[in-house]
Amino acid sequence: MGDCARRHQRYRERELKCRRGPTAEDLIGGYKQIIEWAHTFGIKVIGGTLPPNEGASSARESGEAVREAVNNWIRTSGAYDGVIDFEAATRDRNNPKRLRPEFDPGDHLHLNDAGYQAMADAVDLSLFSGKR
């Protein structure tokens, strides 16, 4: 696992706390710096989208706009060597700003075991093969 850890990095921000928090540009700028740094060392970087959190006590509409913008960038920028779409794996199809009810233990932010299993199932292990 040590060799794998040296060659691969998966950076994912799990919780956006955007009460007075960062803008999408702030987060994307930080992601770009991490990706650039990792790439200088030949480290493959896999990005993961941010799951929905509407209904959580920390959720704000401004934070939702940031989350959506960041997810769009993660999916479309080409900056990452691969992307895992955790949002698609965990969002409620009837209300995409919320977690699927069967994955939500009640706080609308964290996942239950079934939700974490859905995230694990969304990982294409071939993303971690080969070198950058």
Q: What is the pLDDT of residue 31?
A: 97
pLDDT-flagged residues of the chain (< 50): 1, 3-19
Q: What are the two backbone dihedrals, phi and then psi, of residue 96, each rounded to the nearest 5 degrees?
A: -65, -10
Q: Which of 101, 118, 97, 100 has its CA nearest to residue 52? A: 97
The structure's pTM equals: 0.81
The pLDDT of residue 6 is 44
- For residue 132, count other CB atoms closer than 10 A to its CB: 12
